[in-house]
Structure 1
Amino acid sequence: MSVAAFLRNGLRLLIPLALASTVLLYLYPLFGRCAFPLPSRDVDAAFEATKALHWPLDRGLDALSRQVLQSVVGGHSEGDQPASPPPPPTKLAPFRLLVLADPQLEGDTSIPTNLLGTFPHVKSIVRHLTWQTQHWCFRERLRQVAHDLVDICFEDIPYLLMSLHKRFDLVGNDFFLAHIYRTLHWWTRPTHVTVLGDLLGSQWIGDDEFQRRSSRYWDRAFRGGERVPDDAASWPEHDYGLAGVLRDEFDPDNVWARRLINVAGNHDIGYAGDLTPELLERYERVFGKANYELRFGAPANASRRRDADYMRVEPEVRIVVLNDMNLDAPAKDTSLQDATYHFLNTVIATSALVEQEGVFTLVLTHIPLHKPQGLCVDAPFFDFHGADDGSGVKEQNMLSPDASKGFLEGIYGMSADPLAAAGGLGRKGLILNGHDHEGCDTYHFVNQTNGTSAAERSWEVARWADAQARGLPALTTAGLPGRREITVRSMMGGFGGNAGLLSLWFDEERWEWEHEFVTCPLGTQHMWWFTHFLDAGVLLVILLYGVVSFLTAVEGRRLIDILFSYSDFDIKTVLQDSVKGIATTLRLDPIDATMAIMLLRVILIATAALASAIPAPSGTVPFKHPIPFKYHGAFNGLLLVPSNTTMAPTPTWTPPNLPICQKGALCDCSRIKDPNSEE
């Protein structure tokens, strides 16, 4: 099979595969039926509503087809009812939050050569051989050199290859994260976007590396996103202003759809035992404040609000962005911990009364609340620095039970005492966080009927699916106050490229907010790599096929026949005489001339190998081997012409018939000599 035919048949297989994988990758939310939930909680309706954002004619065509069908099928009967009008378009949830967690952009600290240097053992050998090191004898010096030579093979070269692979992988990982953000943002049309901490991969990096990773975050992974302005990130106050108004339709001019609500994570600023003013300052300078709140109002039917009942307030979503990295003690910098608790107490003090209806409190943080072991993948865990480092918190998987209790009873106002305000049921809300890369969906509640006093009752946790099966969320008014906590699975490739879609809508009948959360995973990064490698390979094969086809079109086979009609001795002789003549004219060094001969031979052999499989153009008669040619050596150049061509009388030599060699054997052409030579 010729090269052209092989490439052509390969493209017939590769092009459909590349198109299918590319379409699947770039439209994965469509094939995964990803959509923000609707108030109806109908998955199919949510998908159709999202699809209508991109193809609005689809809804009109469906309505028109129904009318035509009704007129054709039922239009001939007198008793037929008139065609019903098309259903009104499904309204979107006014608050649609695209939730991403733990991208963890890595960098220099994951590249071995940045830590060890490139070929460090080569430098060590140089130091040994130049007597820059001290050894008790020469034999010991040679032994160290021998060890370094071995380490070059088993350490330096593998580390170099690993570093090159890691650099390439970092670029690909950035674009993998960007693909998730860009594709979901385009398809689902969120009103808000949040990244729940661990934006970067390490809190221990220097300022230069921090700036490089931050630039990759904004310019590559989340390109098009904007930092929340400091004037919009408000401190909690009684007399506050709204950051925006929510609407139940798509608004292309919504500035909050472009702003990223970033949450500080342990890999961004460190745990309580690591956090310093310098780490916090550089984070807030690039990614936004660590503690602030946002309030968004929603229009509602004023007639449904009972004016006499002051407990019904204007519908509002309150977003609390909280740095919970230093809620637990001991902390390295107590002033930063005091600032966090001051913010938390201000949030509680400026909250609406627990009896008031219409406000939904959404807390965005990083470290999850406390849960018993076995409920989620991560178990409760604390580790602390040594006394020399301040004994602060070094690592933690969850908040302590006391900090978690403060969350639920402080921010949300829930209580184990049924005699507390509003029966201890607290405020409506939801907690979103990251940190546990596997993700977890739980429900925190307290049974007010246990024991004889509130002191005897403790907070319990159940998986959200189990809580729904037991009907716990519906029993909130029956002495079981509780709140849902969603630990969002990481968007990293190793965890399926996950993303969350949170919808909030206001129920005017009950005068309270409802929510629903779904996930939309892309899959591991291998699919992303496979698709782009496949696309690049197809483009390369298309280019190669074009080159081969071009060579075929210009009858490249004839050139190869000419080349193959000469023995290696003839080609070598021609090249030597040609290059020597050129070298003499240009006054080149003999070594350069020899290198030129070798390069020309390689080019000729490569050209012959490529074009030998190219079929001759249709309608032509292929040449037969061997073809007698005349070598005109008087010109010190390469001049190949058919032997029947009339040339000026010059000393010529026609190669004799060469011996026929057996397959796989070499012909001895050393006996053949040019009769015109001086030998």
Structure 2
Amino acid sequence: MTKFNKITVFVTILAIVSNIYLYTYPSLNSEKCSWSHEYYNYDNLTPYEEYLLKLPYFGDLYKQYFLKEVDSPKNPRDIRMMAIGDPQINGNWPSTPYSKMADNFANDYFLGHIYDTMKNKLEPDYVVLMGDLLSSQWLGDSEFFNRTRRILQRSFKRPEGQSLAEMEIINKHENIDWYKYMNEFYERNNNGTFEDKDFYSFKDVYDWYGGKFIDPKTGYNTEPLFLNITGNHDIGYGDTTFQHMARWMKLYGKTNFIIEYDNDTDHPWRIVMLNSLSLEGPMLQDEFKQYTWKFIKTLEKTPYSGSSILLTHIPMYKRAGLCHDGPNFEYYKESGCHGCSPDRVGLLKSQNHLSEHVSRRVLDAVFGDGKSGIILTGHDHYGCDNYYSFINEEKGWVASKSIDSDKWIREITVRSIMGDYHGNTGIMTGHFNKDSTKWEFEYTECRFNLLHVWWGVHVSSVIAILLITIKFLFGL
């Protein structure tokens, strides 16, 4: 065998093996890359199938492609939620080097590969984008549209019917009428709309599109319900403007809302979406802070009898050492503002956690009745896992790695999906325990690998095809 043939064989085998890894990686770690509760009928398996299912990796692949979960065995149905942490989509400018442009292009499809692979494996009912979808809030509307298009068509693809309205806005490429949004905001703020719980409330929502993606036989969604959390790189901290908020609302939806499910049963539960960027300040537009606190107050005034899933970007307060990011607040100063408007001096520039006082108000408002629940946040790219135990009225909710009281809530900070953080996907399962009559929530992290690995697989595939083509054409 010639040296060229040896190289061709080696590169071809490398390409085949790496592609198998690329498209089946969740099965290498099936325990952390699956729902905590699964429902398969194993009664009629052959001895060969039973043996195969016990094998690591191969058993998970067989289960995924050749077995189906029994039809609606979960009564009530489990809550299956896939969480995507801080993708931070970058953009290209005239000064951007070609290497960076290529990297941005590849990153879109790297994220898309992870999402498609996990969605096909898990078939989630909910997908939550944990905020910081974009890498910077200081974009013109045109670039905001461009990056949103990439999110919808490359990274976190949806069927055409789920993005028609958004794509119509994007294709027009007209600046969002933020002045109209501002006037409507002031009108609602003044007439009491923001103090009415009905403004924030939805019931039993599985599809935002009039039932187009609901199975008429089961009543369940055939495509996941997307929930978009506002991040600081999407709308800003204290420097949030009406322009930021108007375009976010137009393309990604409300910033504060509640969806209640199964209220007429013994297993009610709800999703609480909270814009934590507008809880503290000082803010350029203090009206946003007033609006968010009116939402908190509606939660305080209307206790809920079921369990709650709180979705927000900024984690709750915790002492230093429990997570990669410790408590920290920064404010704009005259020095180092780099040409920014003097109006921003003194405004909130960044924060790692909510303050201790604000965290308690949020926890009391959402979980004060002591029912079970879970918090999913973003922001800290490394991810974290803590429990908030209610110690007493004086100490309130205290974070630690253990459960320290009968009244507690788990907070998961979802690790980023970015390549530098190994392409992580968060998997949250809510299961109703009929014996205790409580919802129980489990969470795992399923990691893919670095972006370099994605590049390596595709480069090796291209080289293998090129070498095989040369061999075929020239008879080497």
Same fold (TM over 0.5): yes
Once residues 241 and 222 of structure 2 are traced to their aligned partners in structure 1, the CA distance between those partners, rounded to angstroms, is 30
The match for 1:590 is none
The match for 2:61 is none
AA partner of residue 228 (structure 2) = N
Q: CA deviation at 1:243?
A: 1.6
AA partner of residue 197 (structure 1) = G
Closer, same or farther: CA 208–447 of 1 in aligned 2, 3 Å: same
1:434 maps to 2:381 = no
Once residues 242 and 432 of structure 1 are traced to their aligned partners in structure 2, the CA distance between those partners, rounded to angstroms, is 20
The match for 2:89 is 105
Closer, same or farther: CA 59–285 of 1 in aligned 2, 3 Å: farther
CA offsets 1:24-52 (integer angstroms, 9 cap, x no match): 111111122121101xxxxxxx5xx5xx6
Once residues 353 and 261 of structure 2 are traced to their aligned partners in structure 1, the CA distance between those partners, rounded to angstroms, is 30
Matching of residues 373-522 of structure 1 within 5 Å: 373-386=320-333, 388-390=342-344, 391-413=346-368, 426-448=370-392, 454-455=393-394, 457-463=395-401, 467=402, 472=404, 475-476=405-406, 481-522=407-448
CA offsets 1:572-619 (integer angstroms, 9 cap, x no match): xxxxxxxxxxxxxxxxxxxxxxxxxxxxxxxxxxxxxxxxxx7xxxxx
CA offsets 1:103-122 (integer angstroms, 9 cap, x no match): 000013xx5715xxxxxxxx
Query: Could you say what secondary structure the match of 1:395 adopts?
Result: strand
Contact 1:99–1:196 (Cα < 8 Å) also in 2: yes
1:363 maps to 2:315 = no
Q: CA deviation at 1:520?
A: 0.5
Flag the structure with more relative contact order, 1 or 2, with Cα contacts below 8 A and sequence separation at least 6.
2
Matching of residues 624-663 of structure 1 within 5 Å: none
Contact 1:244–1:297 (Cα < 8 Å) also in 2: no
The match for 2:256 is 291
The match for 1:626 is none
1:31 maps to 2:28 = yes
Once residues 321 and 87 of structure 2 are traced to their aligned partners in structure 1, the CA distance between those partners, rounded to angstroms, is 25
1:22 maps to 2:19 = yes
Q: CA deviation at 1:350?
A: 3.1
Contact 1:227–1:287 (Cα < 8 Å) also in 2: no
Once residues 236 and 228 of structure 1 are traced to their aligned partners in structure 2, the CA distance between those partners, rounded to angstroms, is 29
Once residues 43 and 86 of structure 2 are traced to their aligned partners in structure 1, the CA distance between those partners, rounded to angstroms, is 38
Once residues 165 and 263 of structure 2 are traced to their aligned partners in structure 1, the CA distance between those partners, rounded to angstroms, is 22
Once residues 328 and 121 of structure 2 are traced to their aligned partners in structure 1, the CA distance between those partners, rounded to angstroms, is 39
Matching of residues 54-65 of structure 1 within 5 Å: 60-62=44-46
Identity of aligned residues (%): 31
Once residues 462 and 392 of structure 1 are traced to their aligned partners in structure 2, the CA distance between those partners, rounded to angstroms, is 31
Once residues 385 and 434 of structure 1 are traced to their aligned partners in structure 2, the CA distance between those partners, rounded to angstroms, is 23
AA partner of residue 247 (structure 2) = R
Question: Structure 1, unaligned stretches of length 5 or more?
Answer: 39-45, 67-87, 115-162, 300-312, 415-425, 449-453, 550-613, 615-679
Query: Could you say what secondary structure the match of 2:439 adopts?
Result: strand
Once residues 22 and 298 of structure 1 are traced to their aligned partners in structure 2, the CA distance between those partners, rounded to angstroms, is 46
Q: CA deviation at 1:253?
A: 7.8
Contact 2:201–2:259 (Cα < 8 Å) also in 1: no
Q: CA deviation at 1:258?
A: 3.1
The match for 1:259 is 225
Q: CA deviation at 1:94?
A: 1.7
Contact 1:324–1:365 (Cα < 8 Å) also in 2: yes
CA offsets 1:508-548 (integer angstroms, 9 cap, x no match): 22221111111110011121111111111111111111221
Closer, same or farther: CA 256–266 of 1 in aligned 2, 3 Å: farther
AA partner of residue 203 (structure 2) = G
Query: Could you say what secondary structure the match of 1:113 adopts?
Result: coil
Contact 1:364–1:432 (Cα < 8 Å) also in 2: yes
Give the TM-score, by structure 1 length: 0.56
AA partner of residue 223 (structure 2) = A
The match for 1:158 is none
Closer, same or farther: CA 239–314 of 1 in aligned 2, 3 Å: farther
Once residues 176 and 339 of structure 1 are traced to their aligned partners in structure 2, the CA distance between those partners, rounded to angstroms, is 37
CA offsets 1:340-361 (integer angstroms, 9 cap, x no match): 1112222333332xxx4xx111
Q: CA deviation at 1:59?
A: 6.4
Contact 1:103–1:198 (Cα < 8 Å) also in 2: yes
Q: CA deviation at 1:459?
A: 3.2
Greater CA drift, 529-538 or 504-513: 504-513
Closer, same or farther: CA 542–187 of 1 in aligned 2, 3 Å: same
Closer, same or farther: CA 536–239 of 1 in aligned 2, 3 Å: closer
The match for 1:197 is 131
Closer, same or farther: CA 395–191 of 1 in aligned 2, 3 Å: same
Closer, same or farther: CA 180–315 of 1 in aligned 2, 3 Å: same
Once residues 217 and 496 of structure 1 are traced to their aligned partners in structure 2, the CA distance between those partners, rounded to angstroms, is 19
AA partner of residue 25 (structure 1) = L
Matching of residues 553-564 of structure 1 within 5 Å: none
Once residues 259 and 190 of structure 1 are traced to their aligned partners in structure 2, the CA distance between those partners, rounded to angstroms, is 9
Once residues 438 and 280 of structure 2 are traced to their aligned partners in structure 1, the CA distance between those partners, rounded to angstroms, is 33
Once residues 228 and 441 of structure 1 are traced to their aligned partners in structure 2, the CA distance between those partners, rounded to angstroms, is 37
Closer, same or farther: CA 90–210 of 1 in aligned 2, 3 Å: closer
Which of 447, 463, 472 is equivalent to 1:537?
463
1:182 maps to 2:116 = yes
CA offsets 1:165-197 (integer angstroms, 9 cap, x no match): 000000100001001110000011211111110
AA partner of residue 203 (structure 1) = Q
Query: Could you say what secondary structure the match of 2:309 adopts?
Result: strand
Once residues 240 and 220 of structure 1 are traced to their aligned partners in structure 2, the CA distance between those partners, rounded to angstroms, is 29
Q: CA deviation at 1:252?
A: 9.0
CA offsets 1:626-647 (integer angstroms, 9 cap, x no match): xxxxxxxxxxxxxxxxxxxxxx
Query: Could you say what secondary structure the match of 2:95 adopts?
Result: helix
Question: Structure 2, unaligned stretches of length 5 or more?
Answer: 51-69, 167-195, 208-214, 335-341
Once residues 274 and 165 of structure 2 are traced to their aligned partners in structure 1, the CA distance between those partners, rounded to angstroms, is 16
Once residues 163 and 256 of structure 2 are traced to their aligned partners in structure 1, the CA distance between those partners, rounded to angstroms, is 14
Aligned length: 406
Query: Could you say what secondary structure the match of 1:539 adopts?
Result: helix
Query: Could you say what secondary structure the match of 2:459 adopts?
Result: helix
Once residues 89 and 32 of structure 1 are traced to their aligned partners in structure 2, the CA distance between those partners, rounded to angstroms, is 26
Q: CA deviation at 1:259?
A: 3.0
Once residues 239 and 458 of structure 2 are traced to their aligned partners in structure 1, the CA distance between those partners, rounded to angstroms, is 40
Once residues 202 and 261 of structure 2 are traced to their aligned partners in structure 1, the CA distance between those partners, rounded to angstroms, is 11
Once residues 94 and 112 of structure 1 are traced to their aligned partners in structure 2, the CA distance between those partners, rounded to angstroms, is 48
Query: Could you say what secondary structure the match of 1:107 adopts?
Result: coil
Give the TM-score, by structure 2 length: 0.78
Contact 1:196–1:262 (Cα < 8 Å) also in 2: yes
Larger Rg: 1
Q: CA deviation at 1:266?
A: 0.3
Contact 2:271–2:310 (Cα < 8 Å) also in 1: yes
